[in-house]
Structure 1
């Protein structure tokens, strides 16, 4: 056979004589193999020599402690307490014990750690040298009856979401145990137990909500809306804005329960009505108004309180004089009202869902106008940066006066357009025939004035 490849030469196998190996072994020092035992470790602790215990001996001791306890029942607790006392000043041992303790409370039970070591954990945890450590605080949460709620509380105190909490302990505790994944469902139940949450706690809630899956978030928001009082929403517009942006429009709105949707309407309305109320109060305190103007503004403030749940959005337009007097003491969507020669007045535009309501505060006419919510009206009333009294009147719309008895007639006018008051609103009174006649006499004059103002507005807008 003609081979194209040459066979490589192999080195010769060295020849070793048994006698040489024997001689070499005879020159080695004597070595004693140490067999780990729990007793050996406990003896070292009793003698104050725990620092001389090897890592291998510690690992064996932790592993074999359950079996040792069964044979030494009367000493199991005391010896485990001694081990925890050593761990206070031994970082490596701390890590070994805490890791296994987390596994114990994470469904692995006695496979991870002897029961006597779990029961004596407080000896370690109550030490001032380690009680402040995050892993220790987390273990305490894990071993409580409401582990998820306690983990949520801890995350809130640290101002971190679930990912942030686990990132802080990923090299110290096993982050894959089920409780660390499940406690995200306890975020909103814990938050609702806070009597008066501060701004930082609300911010924490929002970063947690942003981290959740769609299913988790919808469940959490439903719980939140049904279990948090309206005054918390009133004090935290940041929370309401997040809910409005994520749940008021789009498919998420329909994933909320009916009670949750109603509560969200109330929250959004409460915030927006609060801006309207603050504006009226500032005008009353800062502007030099005649008595009839002040009384009229107070009546409007009180009237619209009955519709606070319907306020989807609010835009405030101020004449230059009011802006100077009020300054920057009100929040929300506020713009300067363009001067077109009309009587000075503040203007509020309410978004009531299907309708836009425009309220002129003062001046001749001083009416309320109602516009259907369509893209054109929305672009003009909420989109255009420069608006004036005449430009708004050019849009037309249905009108209502603020004359004598207007509070009794406006609710019917609004109801005819599908705008209903809050459920707890007081019903309108039935005026006498004499008062009705007084109103009719004034109404004719007002209608003529409105027609004149609308003619001026149309001429201005041409």
Structure 2
């Protein structure tokens, strides 16, 4: 069986002659297409014609310079220096060279830039016209033996965290290279070397900590706590407040090493005690006190110094007259003590963890009160916007005197409730029988006075409700 196949007929091909294109080509002038040549480019630089070199020629020159150097060893350093000199006034060339130099120092070496160009960078970096450029400072950091530390210093000097620093240079340098992501590990080590850090440096540190990953932050905080001097200054108030909020409670607390946890307790206590000590000093210097009142305040400041590492929080309550005289000079939690007719006194509320201690500075009674840390007491003592002396006394709690030998007995009283002084704190000697009798004689009038004041507080608070 035979099959016959028919093929579709194709249209006849038309013959087009591009007459106009031919005519255009005939009229073009003769041109010789030149390929880039390193020798010609370098000759142009030497002759002062660097402005005639095209971007394409520059790209080729930078790319081919390493191979050219191998064949011209005697001229490689001099010609590279000449290229950097041109870059001082040529921003486009600057960008090309600095970008590649950053990659060079990240480990790409000869693949990206000739060694002679990398070595000649100082010619450019030492020029007063460009040495203040952030890109130049960063390149100098990258080639340092401790690039991470140098980048941390730049970050601090600019008062920017890692993200902000990368935003500043993202169009100028290749921000993906590892060194730019690793320098956060040097933030805390560098900060600990700063003597008396200023507020801007403190805020820079906290900004850096806030943007770290959980793992990075734990490591940085642990280093910070265990390497900053124990005798911290009031400049650290913001740091301590940040640490207290982030690490004193919850799971982060247990992620810190034991030395770091102990140091954080000391920091918090130290800052709080410094506020207490400053308050006492201001009262002594600013308010018209009688001698016996001034002596009482000094003895209390000395006593609580033995517990300076134990204060978790401190709230200061001031009567109107004291607030006008001193409150603006204290950084901590300072509020107005409502006038309820009680004798004028300043009040400090110490948070010792499981217990709150209330210290009355002056006036009749002038006692120490101890309250368990429960939600009710926490809300009233640290949550109420205003408190009065009678409101605090109305809460009750356990109380202790400030009469003769009170320091010895207060220490035992606090210890019985688990509130211990700082390590290595010396205890007072044992009192004699005569001293004990003298104390007992003075203690009875104080008890009667406290009973009267508590009665008065109950009457006052019942009337308020």
Using the size of structure 1 for normalisation, the TM-score is: 0.93
Q: Distance in 1 between matches of 2:456 and 2:25?
A: 118
Say yes or no: does 1:208 pair with 2:208: yes
Give the structure 1 partner of residue 333 of structure 2.
333
Q: What CA distance in whole angstroms lies between the structure 2 residues aligned with 1:296 and 1:21?
A: 107
Residue 58 of structure 1 is matched in structure 2 by 58
Instruction: Report the Cα distance in structure 2 between the residues aligned to 1:198 and 1:434, rounded to whole angstroms.
Output: 54
Q: Secondary structure at the match of 2:358?
A: strand
Give CA deviations for 1:257-304 in whole Å, capped at 9, x if unaligned: 111111111111122111111211122222222221111111001110
Q: What is the aligned partner in structure 2 of residue 15 from structure 1?
A: 16
Aligned mates of 2:129, 2:316 — CA distance in 1: 57
Aligned Cα root-mean-square deviation (Å): 2.2
Return 196-205 or 225-234, whichever deviates more: 225-234
Residue 286 (structure 1) aligns with: 286
| CA–CA separation in structure 2 for the residues paired with 1:261 and 1:11 | 92
Q: Deviations over 1:344-395 (max 9, x none)?
A: 2221111111100001112222110111100011111111223222221122
1:57-86 C-alpha deviation (Å, 9 max, x unpaired): 211111111111111111111111111111
Matches within 5 A, 1:416-431: 416-431=416-431
Instruction: Quote how far apart the aligned CAs of 1:26 are.
Output: 5.2
- Written as runs of structure 1 = structure 2, the 5 A alignment for 1:55-454 is 55-326=55-326, 328-454=328-454
SS in 2 for 1:317: strand
User: Shift of residue 324 of structure 1?
Assistant: 3.9
Structure 1 runs not aligned, ≥5 long: 1-6
The CA deviation at 1:446 is 2.1
1:365 touches 1:446 (CA, 8 Å); kept in 2?
A: yes
Question: For the residues of structure 1 that align with 2:358 and 2:239, how far apart are their CA atoms?
Answer: 27
Q: Distance in 2 between matches of 1:325 and 1:90?
A: 62
1:411 and 1:428 in contact (8 A); partners too: no
Distance in 1 (CA, whole Å) between partners of 2:217 and 2:194 is 19
Name the stretch that deviates more: 309-318 or 339-348.
339-348
Correspondence for 2:3: none
Structure 1 327/226 Cα, relative in aligned 2: closer, same or farther at 3 Å? closer
Contact 1:357 1:370 in 2 (8 A): yes
Deviations 1:79-109 (A, max 9, x none): 1111111111111111111110011111212
Looking at structure 1, the residues matched to 24 and 372 of structure 2 have their Cα atoms a distance apart, in angstroms, of 104
Distance 1:377 1:196, change over 3 A: same
CA distance in 2, matches of 1:205, 1:325: 33
The alpha-carbon distance between structure 1 residues 287 and 23, as it changes in their structure 2 partners (threshold 3 A), is closer
Shift of 1:21: 8.3
* More divergent stretch after superposition (318-327 vs 175-184): 318-327
* Displacement of 1:224: 0.9
- Asked if structure 1 preserves the Cα contact closer than 8 Å seen for 2:390 and 2:460, the reply is yes
- Cα distance in 1, alignment partners of residues 273 and 138 from structure 2: 43
For the Cα contact (< 8 Å) 1:359–1:369, is it kept in 2? yes
Structure 2 Cα separation of the partners of residues 327 and 156 of structure 1: 32
Q: 1:10, 1:123 → 2: CA distance?
A: 71
Please say which of residues 427-436 and 404-413 is displaced more in the overlay.
427-436
SS across alignment from 2:328: coil
The match for 1:3 is none
In 2, Cα distance between equivalents of 1:66 and 1:265: 58
- Give me the whole-angstrom Cα distance separating, in 2, the residues matched to 1:122 and 1:197: 32
Task: Please name the residue that 2:457 is paired with.
Answer: 457
CA distance in structure 1 between the aligned counterparts of 2:14 and 2:152, rounded to whole angstroms: 68
* Structure 2 gap segments, 5+ residues each: 1-7
Question: Match for residue 48 of structure 2?
Answer: 48
Q: How many residues align?
A: 454
Cα distance in 2 for partners of 1:22, 1:454 equals: 114
Residues in 1 aligned to 2:216 and 2:289: alpha-carbon distance in whole angstroms: 53
> 1:370 touches 1:398 (CA, 8 Å); kept in 2?
yes
Residue 233 of structure 1 and its aligned partner are, at CA, apart by: 4.7
Q: Taking structure 2 as the reference length, what is the TM-score of the superposition?
A: 0.92
